[in-house]
């Protein structure tokens, strides 16, 4: 495995791969790798000749009062983990390498970025699109791997790929769950024993909403059922739970083919997110 920190060195590796007609799988990360990242890398490993993992804490997706400076970083540990799952190239540039100058051009996420988790993070998804577009151009991947856990991020990137014709296949890797259905998250360790027992109700509620919507086509009553389930089974408070057309994140219409049902719920002080994406025609 090679660790490269400059665009020039990365470009040499990419050009070599392209000359050999090799497929390239890109796994973009901000480092401090956990099981979710490794699952993405394993999927990339299975499907591509060359696997590139980027490790870059991108300043432009942090708000002025967010935790860019204190975001955890551990490159030696990350490179060891990346090597253990078969990554070929780790691209770990500095901020100066990625943003040596600024001509002022921005990619502006639209209405998709103003709802769900985006409502409380203005500008966040603009920064995500900026760094993802740069990484796509730098690595020219055949396929790029993202976790479905961050469904809104995935939807917005998928929209950029679609509407700007990036020659890339987006691969969305399903959420890894505990045996009782709770989505795996590094935040789950913050849950008390009783909170941990309540937490699977979030995924149960998403499934109820999905099944109700597929049976009736009624998004409003599907949401009521899901909310009731969370309120009955947990002490938590719901930040949001929504059914939206995927990937546009617009209200569901008769033409909607794919649906995202997504929730953010405070279980005690811990904010947990979960979602599922389903095809409308699948269940009808």
Residues annotated as catalytic (active site), given as ranges: 37
From the list 220, 235, 242, the residue with the least C-alpha distance to 117 is 242
Q: Which is nearer to its own copies, 10 or 38 (CB)?
A: 10
Q: Which is nearer to its own copies, 158 or 176 (CB)?
A: 158
Judge whether 150 is annotated as a binding position: yes
When asked if residue 64 is in the footprint of its own copies (CB under 8 A), the reply is no
Judge whether 170 is annotated as a binding position: no
What is the rounded CA–CA span in Å between residue 147 and residue 152?
Answer: 11
Q: Which is nearer to its own copies, 141 or 236 (CB)?
A: 141
Query: Which of 63, 72, 86, 110 is close enough to bind its own copies by CB under 8 A?
Result: 110
What is the CA 251 to chain-centroid distance, rounded? 21
Judge whether 22 is annotated as a binding position: no
Query: Which of 65, 69, 70, 101 is close enough to bind its own copies by CB under 8 A?
Result: 101
From the list 200, 208, 252, the residue with the least C-alpha distance to 226 is 208
Cis before 6? omega within 30: no
Query: Which of 31, 200, 247, 268 is close enough to bind its own copies by CB under 8 A?
Result: 247
Say which DSSP state 177 is in.
Answer: B
- Exposure string (b/e) for 246-275, b if CB count within 10 Å is 16 or more? bbbbeebeeebebbbbbbbbebbebbbbbb
Judge whether 190 is annotated as a binding position: no
Judge whether 30 is annotated as a binding position: yes
Q: Which residues have CB under 8 Å from 152's CB, separation 6+?
A: 112, 113, 115, 116, 117, 118, 125, 249, 262
| Stretch in the footprint of its own copies (CB under 8 A) among 49-57, 78-86, 108-116, 210-218 | 108-116
When asked if residue 13 is in the footprint of its own copies (CB under 8 A), the reply is no
- Other beta carbons within 10 angstroms of residue 122's beta carbon come to 11
Q: Which is nearer to its own copies, 163 or 179 (CB)?
A: 163
Q: Which is nearer to its own copies, 33 or 98 (CB)?
A: 98
When asked if residue 21 is in the footprint of its own copies (CB under 8 A), the reply is yes
- The 115-154 site mask, x for binding its own copies (CB under 8 A), equals --------------xx--xx--xx-x--------------
| Stretch in the footprint of its own copies (CB under 8 A) among 106-114, 175-183, 225-233, 276-284 | 106-114
Contact indicator for 172, 263 with CB cutoff of 8 Å: no
Q: Which residues have CB under 8 Å from 243's CB, separation 6+?
A: 209, 213, 219, 222, 223, 252, 259, 260, 261
Query: Which of 8, 70, 96, 167 is close enough to bind its own copies by CB under 8 A?
Result: 167
**Torsion sign (Cα): 111, 117, 120, 126:** negative
Contact indicator for 205, 229 with CB cutoff of 8 Å: yes
- Residue 183 forms beta bridges with which residues? 177
Binding-site residue set for ATP: 30-37, 147-150, 176, 184-187
- Binding-site residue numbers for (R)-pantoate are 61, 153
Binding site per annotation, positions for beta-alanine: 61
Instruction: List, as residue ranges, the binding site.
Output: 30-37, 61, 147-150, 153, 176, 184-187
Which chain residues interact with its own copies by CB under 8 A?
7, 11, 19, 21, 101-112, 129-130, 133-134, 137-138, 140, 156, 159-160, 162-167, 247-248
């Amino acid at each position: 495995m090679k660790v490269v920190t400059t665009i020039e060195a990365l470009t040499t590796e990419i050009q070599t791969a392209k000359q050999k007609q090799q497929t390239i799988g890109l796994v973009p990360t901000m480092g401090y790798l956990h099981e979710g990242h490794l699952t993405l890398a394993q999927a990339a490993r299975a499907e591509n000749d060359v696997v590139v993992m980027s490790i870059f804490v991108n300043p432009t997706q942090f708000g002025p009062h967010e935790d860019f400076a204190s975001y955890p970083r551990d490159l030696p540990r990350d490179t060891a983990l990346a090597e253990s799952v078969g990554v070929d190239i780790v691209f770990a540039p500095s901020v100066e390498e990625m943003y040596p100058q600024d001509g002022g051009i921005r990619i502006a996420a639209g209405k998709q970025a103003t709802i769900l988790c985006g409502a409380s993070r203005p500008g966040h998804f603009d920064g995500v699109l900026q760094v993802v577009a740069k990484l796509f151009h730098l690595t020219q991947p055949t396929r790029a791997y993202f976790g479905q856990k961050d469904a809104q991020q995935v939807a917005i990137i998928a929209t950029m790929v679609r509407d700007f014709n990036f020659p890339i296949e987006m691969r969305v890797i399903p959420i890894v769950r505990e045996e009782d259905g709770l989505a795996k998250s590094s935040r789950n360790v913050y849950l008390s024993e009783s909170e941990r027992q309540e937490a699977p109700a979030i995924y149960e509620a998403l499934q109820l909403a999905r099944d109700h919507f597929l049976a009736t086509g009624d998004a409003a009553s599907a949401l009521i059922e899901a909310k009731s389930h969370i309120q009955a089974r947990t002490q938590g408070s719901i930040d949001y739970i929504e059914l939206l057309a995927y990937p546009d994140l617009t209200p569901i219409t008769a033409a909607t083919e794919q649906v995202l049902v997504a929730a953010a719920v405070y279980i005690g002080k811990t904010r947990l997110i979960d979602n599922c994406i389903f095809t409308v025609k699948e269940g009808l």
